[in-house]
Amino acid sequence: FPDMLSNPRLLSVQGTLNVVMNQNVTLSCRTDSGCPPVRYTLFRRNQKVATVNRTDLSPGLFNFTISSASDTGGYKCKAEDISSSGKYSNSLTFTLLEPISKPLLSSPTSQAKKGQNVTLLCLSENGSLPITYVFFKGRRSISPPVKTEKREAAVIFLFINSSSDFGIYKCRAENSFRNNTKYSNSFNFTLAEERNHSQPLIISLGLILLLFIIGLALAIHFFIIPSYKASE
């Protein structure tokens, strides 16, 4: 009796499903049993891509280029022999790795004073996820790696303790794309002017004194002078 056709296995010859734009890739489709010849057909989202015929049970190989995001998947292959109408494989989808853009380092406030808590945010708007961020003060790392699975900023909180905390800050971003580490713009907090709490008190006392002088002048003009003239 002829061997029954088994479901084929679809895998990436490169050994990874991570790809970059314009990369050449090869998919292998193979069934372990069946009656040769075997026909392998590759589909992408149910659309036929290519067909390969084999006279034995050797795998069918499909070569193509990842030229756009639509080329990433999902792929399936179909195996057919003389005794079967065909069986389908597992599904495969590539992950397109995109280089990250230069991250932006920012803060809700640009001014700070000693004893104040401040926030730093670092965000790379482009690049495949996840992205890992590290914050620096000068050349010294001031945070553990912060990994983001979504397109959102990495955040750290700082305490301004002394004048040395007003130096230059930067952040670094990287993802799975090889040799693609980017550093942000420089950011530094400016010292907020300390508000003089005695100044409002001085202004208030000045206004009170001014009102007293005006009131005294009015009293002299309307009461004291007329009374003096009446007594003459």
The superfamily (CATH) of domain 9-96 is Immunoglobulins (2.60.40.10)
> What are the tens digits of pLDDT across the range 16-47?
999 999 999 999 999 999 999 999 999 999 99
Q: Check for a shared fold between 9-96 and 104-191.
A: yes
pLDDT at 211: 78
Task: Give the long-range contacts of residues 39-48, CB within 8 A, separation 24 or more.
Answer: 39/79, 39/80, 39/81, 40/8, 40/77, 40/78, 40/79, 41/77, 41/78, 41/80, 42/75, 42/76, 42/77, 43/75, 43/76, 43/77, 43/78, 44/71, 44/73, 44/74, 44/75, 45/73, 45/74
Please say whether the beta carbons of 87 and 6 come within 8 A.
yes
pLDDT at 84: 79
pLDDT at 60: 96
pLDDT at 223: 61
101 phi and psi, to 5 degrees? Answer: -90, 165
Instruction: Locate the domains of the chain by residue range.
Output: 9-96, 104-191
CATH class of 104-191: mainly beta
121 phi and psi, to 5 degrees? Answer: -125, 140
Rounded to whole angstroms, how far apart are CA atoms 213 and 232? 27
pTM score over 0.75 = no
* Angle at alpha carbon of residue 128, lines to 124 and 133, rounded to 5°: 45
User: What does pLDDT average to over the chain?
Assistant: 89
Residues of the chain with confidence (pLDDT) below 70? 1-2, 193-201, 219, 221-232
Alpha carbon distances (Å) from 39 to 44, 45, 75, 117, 169: 17, 19, 16, 67, 60
pLDDT at 222: 66
Record the tokens describing residue 134, joined without a space.
């590290």
Closest CA to 57 of 74, 41, 80: 80
